[in-house]
Amino acid sequence: MTLNNFKEMNREMPITIEIPTAFRRFTEGAPKVDSAATTVADALNELTAKFPALARHVRDDQGQIRQFLNVYLNEEDIRFLGGESCTLKEGDRVLLVPSIAGGSGRQDLL
Amino acid sequence: MSTNYQLRCRECSKLWGNAPRSFCEDCFSPLEIAYDYDALRKIARRDALATRSFNMWRYSEFLPLPDDFTPASAVGGTPLVRSQKLAARWGLHKLYIKNDAVCFPSLSFKDRVVATALVAARRFQFTTVGCSSTGNLANSVAAQAAQQGFDACVFIPADLEPAKILNTAVYGARIVRINGNYDHVNRLCSQIADRFQWGLVNVNLRPYYSEGSKTHGFEIAEQLGWKLPDNVVVPMAGASLIGKIAKAFRELVEVGWVEDKPVKYFGAQATGCSPVSDAVKRNLQRFEPQKPNTIARSLAIGNPADGSFAIKLIRDSGGWAEDISDPEIVDAIKLLAETEGIFTETAGGVTAGVTQKLIAQNRIKPHETTVVCITGNGLKTTDAIAADFPLTEAIAPRLDAFEAYMDAQLNPSLAQPAAAGA
């Protein structure tokens, strides 16, 4: 095993995927999920493999990230970073934010 | 409580009742208000408008309002100006300017959307309201929240025009300036709406908020004598207004208040922030977000929430989208002021300038009825044009001084022999 491989194997959850409230019913309530993924695409795939019910909300039938779901790497929309193939480094945060966001899930008050 | 409207997903059509919620929790697509038009046809009577004041509430049956609703103030009811000089300049026979630069209370069309959003905020028992804003929306939230007794907290990009910040601060609103562009602000507000129990008018109250835009369209149709125009030119930031004008026209057809006819929808953007016009012109299915760089800061939304719907509407209607440069925006502001006496902000410059471009492209034709939607007031963006109007030299309060001044104005070469000889 090379040193690099060793480091790779021993990376401990270097990035975090932040889950909006509306998605948490698919993540057993988890607001964050740690991951060792090295690209945004891998992070999303890992997330949806772990929580299969989330998959159809993240990608459409063509496998593209859904039109009304924005994905950010730290402060930047991934569409400015070359899309979901952009690479991750330790400490990065991947945020999923519905593009028309908001909605508390409160009961209908009427 | 009225039951003839509720939230519906714009993609999967699932119904969600009435709640402070802006997207479908099944498919994460946006929600909008859907009406029971059979019920609406029974209660909405055009002749009933004769006794109502000319403001946005005269169309209350078409808005998501509770049965016991009483208007807090006379929002909307702005002029539709029949253009003479600008129409002649452009070679159009029937050109109208819908002038929301004089909308009450804060001088932009955002007063309409805030009015319906705050009705929803009251109904859903929020005590704090707010928004992410490029300026005009913050002005309006602050003004109407002050009048109605809400606490207001607004989020804006740090580099907004000073006048727009002042026009929010004066009402006592808390202003949070964000180091970033509008899209950064909007993302933060999405997270705030997720965390706090606040009524963010263009986030978790967005479906109720955007319904207010329809009144801009209702007024246009009524002011045209209950007719629809051939063309509407609309500025696009989040790209919601253009769709709501179309919804207003469809609803008037639905209840039989106007005759159906094809209307072409034209979208206007600044070249420095033109994700929607770019997508229309390049025939893209999805717009590509942009980093805004334009003096038209009220339109500087690089990731427009309703961009995809606007693209589809524009295409389906046979309309088009265009964009113009910052110098062209300034020229168009001056043109509208000099020909029609209407001083609009940079967004209005975009709309007027794009209209001129569409006419040159023969997409808007002389014999058609065209409405140009002016949505904001020039007094808020004076920085954009100040350099074009330097202060003139002051003169003594004497008649001979004035005569010398006029001589100099009429014969500048005589007044400046050194320059003339250069």
What average pLDDT does this structure show over A4-20?
A: 68
What average pLDDT does this structure show over A11-30?
A: 85
Tens digit of pLDDT per residue, chain B (422 long)?
Answer: 457 999 999 989 999 999 999 988 877 789 999 999 999 999 999 999 999 999 999 999 999 999 889 999 999 999 999 999 999 999 999 999 999 999 999 999 999 999 999 999 999 999 999 999 989 999 999 999 999 999 999 999 998 888 889 999 999 999 999 999 888 898 899 888 878 889 999 999 999 999 999 999 999 999 999 999 999 999 999 999 999 999 999 999 999 999 999 999 999 999 999 999 999 999 998 999 999 999 999 999 999 989 999 999 999 999 999 999 999 999 999 999 999 999 999 999 999 999 999 999 999 999 999 999 999 999 999 999 999 999 988 999 999 999 999 999 898 776 554 443 33
Report whether B27 contacts B12 (CB < 8 A).
yes
Do the chains contact at A68 and B29, CB–CB below 8 Å? yes
Cβ-nearest to A102 among B124, B184, B206:
B206
Tell me the shortest Cα–Cα distance from B27 to chain A, in angstroms. 6
Grouping H, G, I as helix, E, B as strand and the rest as coil, residue A34 is strand
Q: Computed from CA positions of residues B197, B201, B205, B208, in that sequence, does the dihedral angle turn out positive or negative?
A: positive
Do the chains contact at A103 and B20, CB–CB below 8 Å? yes
Identify the pLDDT of residue B27: 79
| Nearest Cα to Cα of residue B295 among B341, B349, B339, B241 | B349
Tell me the shortest Cα–Cα distance from A36 to chain B, in angstroms. 24
The pLDDT of residue A11 is above 70: no
Cβ-nearest to B28 among A69, A108, A109:
A69
Do the chains contact at A104 and B25, CB–CB below 8 Å? no
pLDDT band with cut points at 50, 70 and 90 for residue A13: low
Grouping H, G, I as helix, E, B as strand and the rest as coil, residue A78 is helix
DSSP class of residue A40 equals H
Report whether B98 contacts B374 (CB < 8 A).
yes
The position carrying tokens 């002749």 is B47
Q: Cβ of A29 under 8 Å from any chain B Cβ?
A: no
Give the pTM. Answer: 0.92
Selected for mutation to probe chain B from A23, A32, A76, A99 (highest B CB count within 10 Å) is A99
Q: Cβ of B84 under 8 Å from any chain A Cβ?
A: no
Q: How far apart are CA B269 and CA B288, in angstroms?
A: 14
And the tokens for B116?
């319906």
pLDDT band with cut points at 50, 70 and 90 for residue A12: low
Q: Cβ of A107 under 8 Å from any chain B Cβ?
A: yes
Q: How far apart are CA B94 and CA B80, in angstroms?
A: 12
In DSSP terms, B108 is beta-bridged to B376
Identify the pLDDT of residue B79: 98
Q: What's the gap between Cα B355 and its chain centre?
A: 15
Selected for mutation to probe chain A from B32, B190, B197, B202 (highest A CB count within 10 Å) is B190
Do the chains contact at B289 and A80, CB–CB below 8 Å? yes
Tell how many helices (H) and how many strands (E) occur in chain A. 3, 5
Q: Cβ of B226 under 8 Å from any chain A Cβ?
A: no
Report whether B19 contacts A108 (CB < 8 A).
yes
Cβ-nearest to B25 among A22, A68, A77:
A22
Q: Cβ of A66 under 8 Å from any chain B Cβ?
A: yes
Q: Cβ of B12 under 8 Å from any chain A Cβ?
A: no
Residues of chain B positioned with their CB less than 8 A from the CB of A69: 28
| Cβ atoms within 10 Å of B404's Cβ, excluding its own | 14
Residues of chain B positioned with their CB less than 8 A from the CB of A107: 19
| Beta strands at A32-35 and A15-18: parallel, antiparallel or unpaired | antiparallel
Beta-carbon contacts of A61 under 8 Å, excluding residues fewer than 6 positions away, are none
What is the second-level CATH architecture of the domain A3-89?
A: Roll (3.10)
Q: Cβ of A61 under 8 Å from any chain B Cβ?
A: no
Do the chains contact at B30 and A68, CB–CB below 8 Å? yes
Do the chains contact at B22 and A79, CB–CB below 8 Å? no
Cβ-nearest to B19 among A98, A101, A109:
A109
Q: Which residue of B has its CA nearest to A103?
A: B21
Residues of chain B positioned with their CB less than 8 A from the CB of A97: 187, 190-191
Q: Cβ of A94 under 8 Å from any chain B Cβ?
A: no
The CATH code of domain B80-106+213-384 reads 3.40.50.1100
Identify the pLDDT of residue B137: 96
Cβ-nearest to B18 among A67, A104, A110:
A110
Identify the pLDDT of residue A3: 47
What is the second-level CATH architecture of the domain B110-209?
A: 3-Layer(aba) Sandwich (3.40)
Identify the pLDDT of residue B414: 66
Give the ipTM of the model, two decimals please: 0.80
Tell me the shortest Cα–Cα distance from A80 to chain B, in angstroms. 8
Opening angle at CA B237, ends B236 and B239, nearest 5: 60
pLDDT digits (tens, 9 = 90+) for B318-365: 999 999 999 999 999 999 999 999 999 999 999 999 999 999 999 999
And the tokens for A62?
């063509």
**What is the helix (H) or strand (E) element at residue A56, kind and residue range?**
helix A55-58
Do the chains contact at A108 and B17, CB–CB below 8 Å? yes
